[in-house]
Amino acid sequence: MESSIPVIDFSVYRLQIDDEKTVKIDDLKAIADELLSALGGVGFFYIKNHGFPSDLVASLRRITREFFEQPEAVKCQYARQVATNNGWVATGRESLNPMRPGDYKEAYNYMPNETGQKWPEFLPDFVPLHTKFFTQAKKLTERLLDVLSISLGLKDRTFMRNCHRLMGHPGNCTAIRSLYYPPVTKPLEKEQIRLGEHSDYGTVTLLFQDDVGGLQVQTKDGNFVEVPPIPDTIVVNTGDLLQRWTSDAIIAAKHRVLIPEEERKKELPRQSFAFFVHPDDEVMIECLDGSNKYEPVTGKGYLDMRFAVTY
């Protein structure tokens, strides 16, 4: 399926370039312009030739699938607690669109900087694979944030990167979310879908889809368009804090995941990984243009406010 969502070639800043400082701003300007056009338009884009290891994605998909297929009595032992963002979230527990029934999905949140979490010890590769995935996603995110700084016309290309310097450490809420959408084997509640319409909370999100599909994004005219899986690409979209930061120059587009219409696809589970990127907890999000269109808010303060509504 073809997509109206832009595809940006990221090879000039791919992960295999060891020394980022050797890449000049002029070399990044072309993709910075493409990025700004995409984010000022639909708010979504794909990146290709990014260098993220595909075998790592496949391994994490395998290990998380094994976890999600455990009996609920097993998974409950690793449930997300109020005081932490780590852990398992049961089907229907979240309503990302409060006007709909609970989302027909499960999730597992992973933040390497949180302590005291009980991990699935029966899956010895669970934590190492999440740690490796987080490390690679963080590295790619830092490069995306550099390009974003250039897109926004900031004098320092590391401005956005520096606002996220604690990713993976205490003081930052960036997380991997493994999402599992179970097969639809029984009638659902009225208007229940796999993932309700919502915008993400943070700066940007990196999304790794499988080949099942179902993701849609709302365009400026109010219609939803497909964001189909494209092999070897990563979907990138913006969150609410970036919209506030840029005084609405960049929009955090609403998106959703529908139940497939085809009976064959209803019987298939769907998996994806979202790398939710947040600024450091104490970073004050203020309008970059000085307009004060939005009241200043800290990264952690805004996240706490959104979690209170979701749960």
For residue range 38-52, list pLDDT tens digits in order: 988 889 999 999 999
- pLDDT band (50, 70, 90) for residue 311: low
pLDDT at 48: 98
pLDDT computed for residue 307 by the predictor: 72
Residue 292, pLDDT > 60, answer yes
Predicted local confidence at residue 44, as pLDDT: 94
Inform me whether the pLDDT recorded for 309 exceeds 80: no
Q: Which domains does the chain have, with CATH numbers?
A: 7-16+27-310 (2.60.120.330)
Query: Given this model, what pLDDT does residue 278 score?
Result: 96
Task: Please give the model's pTM, rounded to 2 decimal places.
Answer: 0.94
The rounded mean pLDDT for the chain is 91
145-184 residue pLDDT tens: 999 999 999 989 999 999 999 999 999 999 999 999 999 8
> Residue 95: pLDDT above 60?
yes
CA–CA dist 157, 162 (Å, integer)? 9
pLDDT over 90 at 304, yes or no? no
Confidence at 248, pLDDT banded by 50, 70, 90: very high
- Lowest mean per-residue pLDDT among 11-20, 37-46, 81-90, 211-220: 81-90
**pLDDT above 70 (res 109):** yes
pLDDT of residue 140: 98
Is the pLDDT score of 231 beyond 90?
A: yes
- Strand, coil or helix: what is 111? coil
At residue 261, the pLDDT reads 79
pLDDT at position 255, please?
A: 93
| Sign of the C-alpha dihedral computed for residues 122, 182, 264 and 209 taken in this order | negative
Three-state DSSP class for 261? coil
pLDDT for 114 equals 75
Per mean pLDDT, which range of 100-109, 139-148, 183-192 is the poorest?
183-192
Burial of 120 (0-12, 13-18, 19+ CB in 10 A): buried
Q: In angstroms, rounded to a whole number, what is the distance separating the alpha carbons of residues 57 and 53? A: 7
Contact 174, 212 (CB under 8 A): no
Per-residue pLDDT at 188 exceeds 90: no
Among the listed residues 46, 60, 34, the one whose alpha carbon sits nearest the alpha carbon of residue 230? 46
- Is the predicted pLDDT of residue 1 greater than 70, yes or no? no
**Interval 216-233 mean pLDDT:** 93
